[in-house]
Structure 1
Amino acid sequence: MVIRTALLSLSLVCTLSACSSKQASPQAESTLYVQTGTDPLWQEVKDSDALRPHHTNTNKGFKGSKIDVNNALVEVGPYANNPIIQDNLAIHTVGHASIRRNEFERWTRWYQEDGNTQVFRLFKDEENLRNQRENAARIESFSVTDKWAPQDGVWREWEGRFTIIKSAGCALPHMCSIFQAKGNNVDHWSVMIRLDEHGNIWYVPRKEQPEIGNNKYIVAKNMNGKGFDVRVRDNGIDYEVYIDGNKVGNGQWPRTEEIGFRWGIYVGRSEVTDDIMLFTTGVTMR
């Protein structure tokens, strides 16, 4: 629950307006969370021993300020009472591709949990350090076991609620992927949901689909400080995407390897131009 006392030291607690160079909505600033402590600039983290040796997986991690979610406001809608997945949940970070639950506490700069809500953060200038790939900063969660082989007519589903807090670092044209139906091979994702620097939500199918081309489009506008429900169905061949109960897109992308769902923040080839933060609540997979 959010700390409600007005006597917290200003040196320990800050809201969006004090901790980010670009502000989100007034609602997000004042009501959706409280931040205790501060976070150093990326260069300071990079210069420390936390992620060394660079360009290899490391499990050292780096702790960050505490995000105290206002669960009463964030955890609403049909998924509000679903607890965070406990078994076989992992996170893919800037320093390691698969951190398991018993090590999450080492990585609180990027990932935290509060009630039924997951907190994902990236900070300005951050980049991938787990291999030689440039940029590609990310903090995503996934299940190491909830994967499946493509099978026509056998649908798998992902459901949950996103609340966007800071999106200024999700620079166009790549933006931030906040959800992807992804296979083991980098070329095997079928559909993504992306967030741009203005807080707009995009439906993004694979570019290579000849029947629709690169038909990406905005499905929700100005979502900073706001929440929305997502449901995605995928059988390894077909997929469907729903936002707040409305079908916003569907398509086909036949895959040959195992498929799983990933959610959080993934910047890809772009630079992180400012801080990014979002929450997910009540994620379920079946």
Structure 2
Amino acid sequence: MKPGTFCFSFALALSASLPALCQAQSPYYTDTGSPVNPPWSEIYPALNFQSADPGPVNGSVIDVNNTLTEVGLFGGRPLLVPSQRIHVCCNSFTNDFPNFTRWFQTDGNTQVFRLFVNDENTANDRTGTARTEAFHTSSGWNYVDGKTFEWSGRYTIARRKQGYSIFQSKNADDDWSVQLNISGSGFLVINNRRHAEDVTVTNPDGSNKDFDGLGFDARILDDGRNYKVWIDGVLMADNYFDRPTSDTNFRWGMYLGSSILVPPADNSVILVSGAQVKSWTGILTSAKTAIIKANNGNGPGATTSWVGGVLPGLHNVATWDSTVTAANTISVGSDQVWAGLKISNPGGNVTFNGTSLLGIDEAGVDMSTTTRNLTLNCPIELRVTAPWTVASTFTATVNSALRGYGGLTLSGGGVLTLMGANEYTGPTVINAGRLRLGNGGTTGSLSPMSAISVGAGALLHFQRSNDVLQGTDFSSAPITGDGGVLKWAPGKLILTADNSYTGPTTVIAGTLQLGNGGTTGKLSTNSAISFSGGTTFEVNRSNNTIQGSGFSGEAITGNVAVTQSGTGKLTLTANNTYTGVTTINAGTLQVGNDGPTGSTGSGNIINNGTLRFDRTGALEVPNAISGSGQVIVDCPAAPPTPSPSAESTPSQAPLR
């Protein structure tokens, strides 16, 4: 709108009587109310019109709840934006941030973007619109430059009134290529300018997700023509828009397009945490090329660490080959992003130390032709789901934690050992070889959100000395696939999902437990179970678990103990020959299921619950029975006959 139009004439006439704008609150921030926020009608007359105003135009201080806001993959990172500027209503290009706190503030790792009712652009001749945005001015890029830029950060839609754009990849001549919009209903829309339909982020049930009061992570790659957009690790756009004549920059904050914030709205607030801008040589369609490690122990951020003095980046595979003539240990002293990591034939094992983050992209980790082992002690980010290939007889060990929205696909026949509390949420696919959690100690876990699939001949290997609980220490979803599970350490492996993998279940040490007091926790009946001597098979469910239905119908053999701990019932239907102790801590252990088969093996029975016999025909019980529980016989033909060699001490109730 122009000066003198009805809107501004009306506002100016009322300016003297209008109170300061109210301070709306949110769980994500506290508006201190100081200094006061005057209405736009009081601010406007003092501003330059259609030219930049130096300010100050200040507003009440926002105290961000950083603990609640700075979360997710990106939220807790430091802000890292080269040559940042802001575009606010009265100035389209300034880095004098303290002069414009009405619209922009920073608290910790979080940028605060705020617009009030009736705020309007006066910085140039585009009236009837409002914005508060940050952008970077260093090294804007064009497709011919052969570079890829990345913006990443965490958005929190703290207080939304109306709809607005929150991100643009923008070219001054050709306009934006892709933008993120929050609709008037709170939906997040990825707006592709050309060549692809817009995409709305949805809930798992397919309904549009309302982001009001919620946060999300965003990552955008752009090379001046091609771009990709991820929301919370999900690829939402992989598209292009030609921009031949000018440079592109990223912009983020609030932009209302051809409108302003109107009553009854008072103000809108959006928070952006951990915003970072990075760049690498190469475009998004570039082939991945190798950068060879030089024969020294210099860190990866030094040009002297690489043959030719070129640092590896998003489009490069950092490679250790025979150029390295001995064991090689490096320290990651600054954050790195590589397409992948390859270990072929260096002169010794390779070790990464350090506390900085190493990002691994789509090329993954390649040890398919390795002659050495790899140890990673620095934090690793799985940026996308990627292959990890480890050759037979070799091991890749990760002592730090793997994080990120990506996953890994293991192949090659070797061993990948994970020792940390891994947080990556993408899938864990074991096509070949062995994924080992722990190495005899008390650590080594996966995120409950990382679904696990084990291919034929491959193994998911648990080697921890303490208890490992499904849904806490690894995926809450069922383990799937044709491969197997190996437990090889003291402590319990507690399975709480209805697992469907069909490969063998092998227990070398400790206890395999089905259920944890609830109604779930089972194995596929096609998964043969084998126990080494001194191990235990335990069932702890509140409902009925039947051999041949809740786990393999094959007989339990060997020197293994069987324990019934839940309030439900464990029904043994096979002619089991195990020799360990049978213990009933609670609930019922039932022998047989109204058929001719079912036994407890030959070991002693400690009954502190209910021991029930439900078989057709006569049954000889060779076990010594003790404890405080009851024994119930429900055999149509004849009661079970204690073996002459058995010494039973019935408790509470006789056989009946």
Asked if these proteins are the same fold (TM beyond 0.5), I'd say: yes
Report matched runs for 1:204-283 at 5 Å: 204-206=191-193, 209=194, 211-212=195-196, 215-220=197-202, 221-256=209-244, 257-273=246-262, 274=265, 275-283=267-275
1-structure distance, mates of 2:171, 2:81: 22
2-structure distance, mates of 1:92, 1:271: 15
The runs of 4+ residues in structure 1 deviating greater than 6 Å are none
Please give the per-residue CA displacement for 1:260-284, whole angstroms capped at 9, x wherever unaligned: 1010011111232232110000011
Q: Does the CA contact (< 8 Å) of 2:131 and 2:255 recur in 1? A: yes
Query: What letter corresponds to residue 200 of structure 2 in structure 1?
Result: I
* Cα 1:252/1:32, change in 2 over 3 Å: same
Residue of structure 2 in register with 1:192 after alignment = 179
Please say if 1:92 is aligned against 2:74.
Answer: no
1:120, CA displacement in angstroms?
0.1
Query: What letter corresponds to residue 266 of structure 1 in structure 2?
Result: Y
Residue of structure 2 in register with 1:4 after alignment = none
1:196, CA displacement in angstroms?
1.7
Residue of structure 1 in register with 2:29 after alignment = 33
Please give the per-residue CA displacement for 1:193-232, whole angstroms capped at 9, x wherever unaligned: 01122221111011xx2x43xx223215211111100001
Query: What letter corresponds to residue 19 of structure 1 in structure 2?
Result: Q
Residue of structure 2 in register with 1:9 after alignment = none
1:149 to 138, 142, 149: 142
Residue of structure 1 in register with 2:72 after alignment = 77
Please give the per-residue CA displacement for 1:149-189, whole angstroms capped at 9, x wherever unaligned: 2148742111000000122132xxxxx1100001122x331
2:91 match: secondary structure? coil
Query: What letter corresponds to residue 203 of structure 1 in structure 2?
Result: I
Q: Does the CA contact (< 8 Å) of 2:82 and 2:138 recur in 1? A: no
Q: Does the CA contact (< 8 Å) of 1:167 and 1:198 recur in 2? A: no
Structure 1 or 2, whichever has the larger Rg, is 2
Report matched runs for 1:123-142 at 5 Å: 123-142=116-135
RMSD (CA atoms): 1.8
Q: Does the CA contact (< 8 Å) of 1:118 and 1:281 recur in 2? A: yes
1-structure distance, mates of 2:137, 2:60: 27
Relative CO higher for 1 or 2, CA cutoff 8 Å, sep ≥ 6? Answer: 1
1:105 match: secondary structure? helix
1:107 to 89, 100, 103: 100
* Cα 1:86/1:283, change in 2 over 3 Å: closer
Show structure 1 runs of 5+ residues with no match: 1-17, 21-27, 171-175
Residue of structure 1 in register with 2:156 after alignment = 163
Structure with the higher helix share, 1 or 2:
1
Query: What letter corresponds to residue 178 of structure 2 in structure 1?
Result: V
TM-score w.r.t. length of structure 2: 0.36
Please say if 1:66 is aligned against 2:61.
Answer: yes
1:136, CA displacement in angstroms?
2.4
- Percent identical pairs in the alignment equals 36
* Cα 1:146/1:69, change in 2 over 3 Å: farther
* Cα 1:183/1:204, change in 2 over 3 Å: same
Please give the per-residue CA displacement for 1:220-265, whole angstroms capped at 9, x wherever unaligned: 5211111100001111111111100001122110112111101001
* Cα 1:152/1:89, change in 2 over 3 Å: closer
Alignment size in residue pairs: 245
Query: What letter corresponds to residue 130 of structure 2 in structure 1?
Result: A
